[in-house]
């Protein structure tokens, strides 16, 4: 029985109501003391061998008969009007099959109607101008240089503050801000800046489009195959049954692959026109110009507190440079949620600049926001002469203050204690003053959404030899989704792990949401458990008839049916041998979220750094991370997520940043030579642990999600450690040597 | 609720009992007078455009990164022992990657244990000796010639009678044969011979094997993806979840692709060893040597009848040359089933010969058996001076005589009457005696299994814009399966046809049986209807909640929801706009077959021919076919099947036949130059009609299947027309000019 229910969700401080269709009541969560055999165990990736041997096929690897290759001509100017375009010489190049320009394609609106698929107004250096399709990618790229374009340059702006067109801000307010600040014994006001960061997924964005008659199949490097299907259908005027989107393996997304890309639509248009498949992959340079970034921010933060450290008021005014066609992320999230504070206001502006459009980037907004909040709080602690950790405990809250509900679970207190123990927080000390090498300790904490939610669906198909296939239209960004889903199904079915295969990344499978927001395991996993449960019930029904008993008398363990009296019957014997083609398809859906609880993830990180006052170099000596994200399904994959998040956070703290030529509006480091990301030599020892709590309110797994939490506090923890080392607050990321040397 | 039930099936006159798992009770069949909107209408193929534009990808078209190509070395001798094999020179050829021989692969039993995957005893010219894998197919084939093999030739046999090793025959008997013949007024005893015919599918057999870690994916040109999965898993010692088999488009199968081929296992073994994908496609010559054929038969038939034409006894003794590793098909089927006869015995031998293994070929056994039975009956009619059509009506039966049950429906009487009318049977006349061109009329009738059965499963997934995807692990041999399944789902859902897409040919989908036996529509179609019904019920449940009414108050037509008072609500508006990602997955299974009825298909064909006594040439002037196969789902696809069957039957009657050199045991015409199949110039006007009866016992569609019926009576009808023209009985197929000239 399906039920239509109303659910409440919070986004950017606002509460939204929507209808969701719910199937059944779901299953009770495995309790904290459940004796699980496969869930909770460190399981290597079930697709690890395929990935490391090169047998895994990514979008770039797709080869179809007659396939052609596309390349995109991009604006060389930060802002320009296209006056004329001449493709004659390019079309004459042998091997060129088609050139799409604004003159020969339909008007397809793009970026919430701000532009078109190919527009004559170009809003950043990298904006799409034309698309060449040729028999090989080199010819396509050569042809780009033969296209003659006449541009009229227009004025442009780069800096979020300079660009400020006072659009409608996102405002959130609670309590009485003025009264809050009045009640404060101390008020601290600071400005922070964070930089534009590039995702640099190992696998660049790209698509292969292939028409069979009126049926379009697209292989796309996307975090949301169903979203791409929806977007493509809308852009091309197709119904949803005519579009299929596939993504089997992914080399990272980090949020940059959440949405439909122009390259996908261009490939589909060209393939339709030519009657042949078209592959269009972005180069690394294009990737870094046009495929999204973490927006630069300016944040003005004001904290009011009592002498004992309790917060009386917080206000934040934030500007985010969303680029040409992007939109602002919730920079104010940490401020609104992380600490108990009755009087609070956030005011956030998304500011258009003539740079590549921003997009979500692992914990978007929260990384930027946490840097400001946690730096300011650290400073407040020093001003008040309170231990920074004590200050955080002073303002600890067990309730969500936006929706006014208790948290479903919150292990942040344990994380603080365990992290402090691991880093040696109580015993921390400074290098004697005057030394060239200064050591310091810093910490920061994290809040992030968690627990996922509906809709998410899965199927679990049993084979007659007692093995199973789990099918879900979710994606695996490289995080280990397939392995975790296999563990969940194996646990529920009572089958060994190797008896489970997992098929994902195909819109022919059941709907699953965007693989983002750290919600894949907690949205899709419960649906998989339900599907496995349904399959198991059907299996017991059939087995009971064959064994002339009742289903309740039977159980399954390690692939054997346990009959009354403890008799073990191999499933294969019972099913394959007796019934031949024995069919069970279990169906499962993510149940509803709890109505009276708010589900979030929490964690704390601690850094020890060494700053060289002669060179300005910051060396991170140690990082400790303790997070609470509900039940741990697989310690190995969760560990990879934490390490990956921390390393990206370290890059954000110390190395990364897009550099734009102020005189020309052109990106100077859209490559991996000049844009620095951490290498293994930059990575310090990382000591991470999970507070492994089953969150029985969150969903039937008790898991809340881990993709994003780990990146959130890293930069702030490092910055606070640098402050601790040198006694001077750096308010701009990345923490530059030059800035330290200027102190 | 799943139920385990026992079912009875008949095969070669024996009745078998087996367990089947049944889901629910199924739906009542649409009654004869149901007002259906999409089912029953002529619908062009939904994948027609993809097929004719070359966009459809067949197994040959698959290209994977790093793919290698295989070729098979085959025995040049009809029977030989492999004494030594030296691959040194072949391995030295640049581009050669691997050579598999019996020396370096596991011992994998083949052909029910009669041989091994690569064996040292070779039982026909074409038997597999070794497999080369190289960087391109030309190098692989060149390398075959560099392999040095020492053979010891062994004695061999070609003729089914000469070969006769008296193995265990299949015997069926009912009544008292001796008494039956004693009671006869006339006894007629004749021998017939039919030739070996080759399938000549447009798409040859072949596979692509690709490993991702321990997970094997195979694209295979097969009529049974689940069977290939099962066979591959057994051959390679894998569990079923580790094997995936895909077949999206097929260029014909005709029964030759029912089973796992050696090429598939060789490709999988080589791909595993090399860590790269391997494609192995058979050439036309290999196809015709080794990929199956219709077995040659010798049939001794004895009929006893009363003067009024009623049959008192029939006995048949049949020998079928099954080749090296084949098995006999039910040549005695028509004799056992087609006419009412209480006293009857069939005795059938499958005889090993040193020729390529036979396999099923469109109505296997029945085409051969019908030629003998229907020729003999025609002669009996002439002997008794009874109209051949009258004789058939005289021996008409409404009951199946093997399982002793009434037929679920039988429209053969109507087919006789309508066919006679169309050909002008009553007005038929002979060309005046002595003319060089003699005209004649002949007829024959057909019985064949029908109605399909469980297990077959399907899913029906609704999209939020009011479109749907049907998923089934069935195959489309080129017959239009996808179109017919789309019609069924559209009818049941109340959606327009273009709102339905169909995904088949992937073992990741729900189980469907072998696409053979004319049972795809009648096995899979009812499961699709059930899945669509389930989806529709869920849709109404959700819609009723949104519209605040009860599901029973709602209906769906043309993609609109019809609310109380006749208000029409577009599904897209209700679902996509209100609910966003709205998910419904309908699940359906083929219900049980009727216990108290036997389901068969019936038909009659009539031929008018002209025989040139000077040249011996037989020209077919007209063919009339009237068949009864239950409800007609799509007149276009059913018409294609009938025409295709008749054309193949015409080839079998007049042109086709494998020629083996008697001195060397080698096939002389394993190609399309010397092996003649009909071209469009050979095809006369074909007038076909269906007796469109809903068989409400058969299944919830009332459809019984049409793939095979049309080929069964064609050769006999032509042979009888030739007899009518020249007054001499030809008892051997094909009807050769030489035979006519010798008369």
CB within 8 Å: B545 and A580: no
- A705 has pLDDT over 90: yes
Say if A503 is an interface residue toward chain B (CB within 8 Å): yes
What tokens appear for A90 in the block?
A: 């390019």
What lies within 8 Å, CB to CB, of A112 at 6+ separation is A325, A327
* pLDDT higher than threshold 70 for residue B431: no
Q: Which residues of A are catalytic?
A: 708
CB-based burial, A604-618: b 16+ in 10 Å, e otherwise: bbbbbbbbebeebeb
Catalogue all structural domains in chain A, each as residue range(s) with its CATH number: 38-56+452-589 (3.30.365.10), 62-156+204-290 (3.90.1170.50), 157-198+292-361 (3.30.365.10), 398-450+596-742 (3.30.365.10)
Q: Is A498 on the interface with B (CB under 8 A)?
A: yes
pLDDT digits (tens, 9 = 90+) for A328-342: 999 999 999 999 999
Q: What is the pLDDT of residue B432?
A: 64
Q: Which residue has the higher pLDDT, B333 or B581?
A: B333
pLDDT > 70 in chain B, percent? 98
Helix (H, G, I), strand (E, B) or coil at B236: helix
B194 — phi, psi (to 5°)?
A: -120, 155
Nearest to B49 among A57, A213, A511 (CB): A213
A21 burial (CB, 10 Å; 0-12 / 13-18 / 19+) is buried
Contact B469 A211 (CB under 8 A): no
Contact B240 A463 (CB under 8 A): yes
Do B587 and A583 make contact, defined as CB atoms within 8 angstroms?
no
From the list B214, B240, B467, which residue is nearest A239 (CB)? B467
Q: Does the structure show a pLDDT above 70 at A25? A: no
Question: Please, what is the Cα angle at A541 between A535 and A547, to 5 degrees?
Answer: 130
Nearest CA in chain A to B581: A455
pTM score: 0.95
Mutation test of the interface with chain B: which of A16, A68, A463, choosing the one with the most B Cβ atoms within 10 A?
Answer: A463
What angle (nearest 5°) sits at the alpha carbon of residue A634, between those of residues A631 and A637?
120
Cβ-Cβ pairs closer than 8 A, A with B, add up to 177
What would the mean pLDDT of A224-238 be, rounded to a whole number? 97
Interface of A with B in 95-124 (CB under 8 A): none
pLDDT at B166: 59
Closest CA in chain A for residue B275: A55
Does B513 contact chain A (CB < 8 Å)?
Answer: yes
Assess A5–B contact: CB distance below 8 Å, yes or no.
no
**Cβ pair A583:B499 closer than 8 A:** no
* Average pLDDT of the segment spanning B487-510: 97
Out of A32-46, A137-151, A198-212, B432-446, least confident range? B432-446
Q: List chain B residues with CB under 8 Å of A532.
A: none
- Check pLDDT > 80 for residue B638: yes
Instruction: Name every chain A residue with its beta carbon within 8 A of the beta carbon of B213.
Output: 46-50, 53, 55
Mean of per-residue pLDDT scores for chain A: 95
Q: Does A578 touch chain B (CB under 8 A)?
A: yes
Is-contact B696 B702, C-beta < 8 A?
yes
Q: What is the mean pLDDT of residues A464-483?
A: 96
Average pLDDT for B374-384: 98
Q: Looking at beta carbons, which residues of chain B come within 8 Å of A245?
A: none
When CB atoms are compared, the residue of B20, B64, B511 closest to A63 is B64
Please check whether residue A199 touches B, CB under 8 A.
no
Q: How confident is the model at residue B164 (pLDDT cuts 50, 70, 90)?
A: low
Task: Give the integer Cα–Cα distance in Å for A89 and A107.
Answer: 25
Look at residue B508 and tell me whether its pLDDT is greater than 90: yes
| pLDDT per position as a tens digit, B49-64 | 999 999 999 999 999 9
Nearest CB to A511; choose among B240, B500, B583: B583
Q: Is A19 on the interface with B (CB under 8 A)?
A: yes
Using the predicted structure, report yes or no on whether residue B75 has a pLDDT greater than 70. Answer: yes
Non-local (6+) Cβ contacts of A534 within 8 A are A460, A586, A587, A588
Contact yes or no for B49 and A214 at CB 8 A: yes
Query: pLDDT tens digits for A39-93?
Result: 999 999 999 999 999 999 999 999 999 999 999 999 999 999 999 999 999 999 9
Q: What is the pLDDT of residues A619-661, one digit of tens each?
A: 999 999 999 999 999 999 999 999 999 999 999 999 999 999 9
Is residue A667 a contact partner of residue A356, using CB atoms and an 8 Å limit?
yes
Helix A366-384 to helix A714-726 angle (10° resolution) is 30
Can you give the C-alpha Rg of chain B in angstroms?
27
The confidence score (pLDDT) of residue A501 equals 98
Determine contact, residues B656/B675, Cβ cutoff 8 Å. Answer: yes
Cβ-defined contact of B241 to A57 (cutoff 8 Å): no
The mean per-residue pLDDT over the stretch A526-535 comes to 97
Establish if A548 touches chain B: CB-CB under 8 angstroms.
no
The confidence score (pLDDT) of residue B433 equals 60
The answer to whether the CB atoms of A64 and B47 lie below 8 A apart is no
How many angstroms separate the CA atoms of A85 and A79, rounded? 17
Of residues A47, A214, A465, nearest to B213 (C-beta): A47
**Contact (CB, 8 A) for B95 and B139:** yes
Closest CA to B505 of B700, B257, B292: B257
Are B65 and A57 an interchain contact pair (Cβ–Cβ within 8 Å)? yes
Residue B579: its pLDDT value, please? 79
* Cα distance between residue A119 and residue A324, in whole Å: 13
Nearest residue of chain B to residue A209 (CA atoms): B55
pLDDT of residue A720: 98
Q: Is A237 on the interface with B (CB under 8 A)?
A: no
Residues of chain A in contact with residue B53, where contact means CB-CB under 8 angstroms, are 213, 275
Query: Does residue A161 belong to the interface with chain B, where contact is any CB pair within 8 Å?
Result: no
Q: Do B213 and A511 touch (CB under 8 A)?
A: no
Instruction: Select from A215, A498, A578 the Cβ nearest to the Cβ of B501.
Output: A215
Any B CB within 8 A of A587 CB: yes
Residue B1's alpha-carbon distances to A470, B4, B21, in angstroms, are 21, 10, 10
Task: With CB atoms and an 8 Å threshold, state whether A240 touches B578.
Answer: no
Q: Torsion angle of alpha carbons B691, B692, B695, B700, nearest 10°?
A: 150
DSSP string over A391-407: HHHHT--SEETTTTEEB
Average pLDDT estimate for A350-359: 95
Residues of chain A neighbouring B587 (CB-CB closer than 8 A): 585, 587
What integer best gives the mean pLDDT of chain B?
Answer: 95
Query: Cβ A467–B240 below 8 Å, yes or no?
Result: yes
The predicted-structure confidence for B657-698, as pLDDT tens digits, reads as follows: 999 999 999 999 999 999 999 999 999 999 999 999 999 999
Residues of chain A with Cβ-Cβ distance to B583 below 8 Å are 21, 455, 457, 510-511, 589
Residues of B that are catalytic: 708
Please list the alpha-helical segments (H only) found in B184-316: 225-236, 262-274, 284-290
Q: Any idea what DSSP says for residue B573?
A: I
The pLDDT of residue B384: 98
Query: Within the 271-330 window of chain A, which residues sit less than 8 Å (CB to CB) from chain B?
Result: 275
Measured between beta carbons, the chain B residues lying within 8 angstroms of A61 are 64-65
Q: Is the dihedral of CA A318, A320, A326, A328 positive or negative?
A: negative
* Span B546-585, pLDDT tens digits: 899 999 999 999 889 999 888 999 998 888 877 777 789 9
A365 contacts A331 by C-beta, under 8 angstroms = yes
Partner residue opposite A19 with nearest CB, options B47, B468, B579: B579
CB B386 within 8 A of CB B394: yes
Which residues in chain B are closer than 8 Å to A503, comparing Cβ atoms?
Answer: 508
């Amino acid at each position: 029985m399906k039920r239509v229910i109303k659910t409440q969700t919070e986004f950017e401080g606002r509460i939204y109501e929507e209808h969701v269709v719910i199937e059944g009541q779901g299953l009770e969560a495995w309790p904290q003391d459940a004796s699980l055999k496969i869930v909770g165990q460190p399981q290597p990736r079930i697709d690890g061998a395929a990935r490391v041997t090169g047998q895994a096929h990514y979008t770039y690897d797709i080869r179809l008969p007659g396939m052609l290759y596309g390349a995109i001509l991009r604006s060389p100017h930060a802002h320009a009007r296209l006056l004329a375009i001449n493709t004659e010489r390019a079309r004459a190049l042998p091997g060129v099959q088609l050139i799409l320009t604004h003159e020969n394609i339909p008007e397809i609106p793009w970026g919430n109607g701000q532009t078109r698929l190919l527009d004559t107004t170009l809003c950043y250096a990298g904006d799409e101008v034309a698309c060449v399709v040729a028999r090989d990618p080199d010819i396509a790229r050569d042809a780009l240089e033969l296209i003659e374009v006449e541009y009229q340059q227009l004025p442009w702006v780069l800096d979020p503050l300079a660009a400020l067109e006072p659009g409608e801000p996102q405002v959130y307010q609670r309590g009485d801000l003025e009264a809050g600040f009045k009640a404060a014994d101390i008020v601290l006001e600071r400005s922070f800046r964070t930089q534009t960061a590039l995702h640099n997924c190992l696998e660049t964005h790209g698509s292969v489009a292939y028409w069979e008659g009126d049926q379009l199949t697209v292989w796309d490097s996307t975090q949301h195959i169903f979203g791409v299907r929806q977007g493509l259908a809308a852009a091309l005027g197709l119904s949803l049954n005519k579009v299929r989107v596939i993504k089997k393996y992914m080399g990272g997304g980090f949020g940059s692959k959440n949405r439909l890309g122009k390259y996908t639509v261009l490939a589909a248009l060209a393939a339709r026109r030519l009657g042949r498949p078209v592959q269009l992959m972005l180069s690394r340079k294009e990737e870094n110009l046009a495929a999204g970034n973490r927006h630069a921010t300016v944040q003005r933060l004001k904290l009011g507190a009592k002498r004992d450290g309790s917060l009386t008021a917080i206000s934040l005014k934030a500007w985010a440079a969303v680029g040409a066609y992007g939109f602002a992320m919730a920079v104010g999230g940490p401020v609104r949620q992380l600490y108990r504070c009755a009087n609070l206001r956030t005011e956030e502006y998304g500011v258009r600049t003539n740079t590549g459009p921003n997009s979500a980037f692992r914990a978007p907004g929260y990384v930027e926001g946490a840097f400001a909040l946690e730096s300011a709080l650290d400073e407040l602690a020093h001003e008040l002469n309170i231990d920074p950790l004590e200050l955080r405990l002073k303002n600890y809250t067990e309730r969500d203050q936006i929706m006014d509900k208790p948290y479903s679970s919150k292990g942040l207190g344990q994380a603080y204690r365990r992290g402090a123990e691991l880093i040696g927080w109580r015993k921390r000390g400074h290098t004697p003053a005057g030394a060239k090498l200064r050591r310091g300790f810093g910490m920061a904490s994290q809040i992030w959404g968690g627990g996922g939610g509906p809709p998410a669906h899965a199927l679990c198909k049993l084979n007659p030899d007692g093995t199973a296939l789990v099918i879900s239209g979710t994606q695996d960004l490289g995080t280990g989704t397939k392995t975790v889903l296999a563990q969940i199904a194996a646990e529920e079915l009572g089958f060994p792990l190797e008896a489970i295969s997992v098929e994902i990344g195909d819109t022919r499978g059941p709907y699953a949401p965007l693989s983002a927001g750290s919600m894949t395991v907690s949205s899709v996993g419960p649906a998989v458990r339900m599907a496995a449960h349904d399959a198991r019930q059907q299996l017991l029904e059939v087995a009971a008839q064959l064994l002339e008993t009742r289903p309740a008398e039977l159980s399954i363990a390690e692939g054997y049916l346990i009959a009354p009296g403890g008799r073990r019957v191999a499933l294969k014997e019972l099913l394959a041998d007796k019934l031949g083609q024995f069919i069970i398809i279990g169906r499962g859906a993510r149940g509803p979220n709890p109505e009276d609880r708010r589900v979030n993830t929490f964690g704390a990180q601690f850094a020890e750094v060494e700053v060289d006052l002669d060179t300005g170099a910051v060396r991170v000596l140690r990082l400790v991370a303790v997070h609470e994200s509900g039940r741990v399904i697989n310690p190995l994959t969760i560990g990879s997520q934490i390490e990956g998040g921390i390393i990206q956070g370290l890059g954000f703290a110390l190395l990364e940043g897009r550099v734009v030529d102020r005189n020309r509006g052109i990106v100077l480091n859209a490559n991996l030579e000049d844009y620095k990301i951490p290498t293994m030599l930059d990575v310090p020892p990382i000591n991470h642990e999970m507070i492994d709590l089953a969150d029985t309110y969150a969903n039937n797994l008790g898991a809340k999600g881990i993709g994003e939490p780990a990146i959130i506090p890293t930069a702030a923890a490092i910055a606070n450690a640098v402050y601790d080392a040198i006694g001077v607050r750096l308010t701009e990321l990345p923490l530059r040597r030059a800035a330290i040397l200027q102190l």
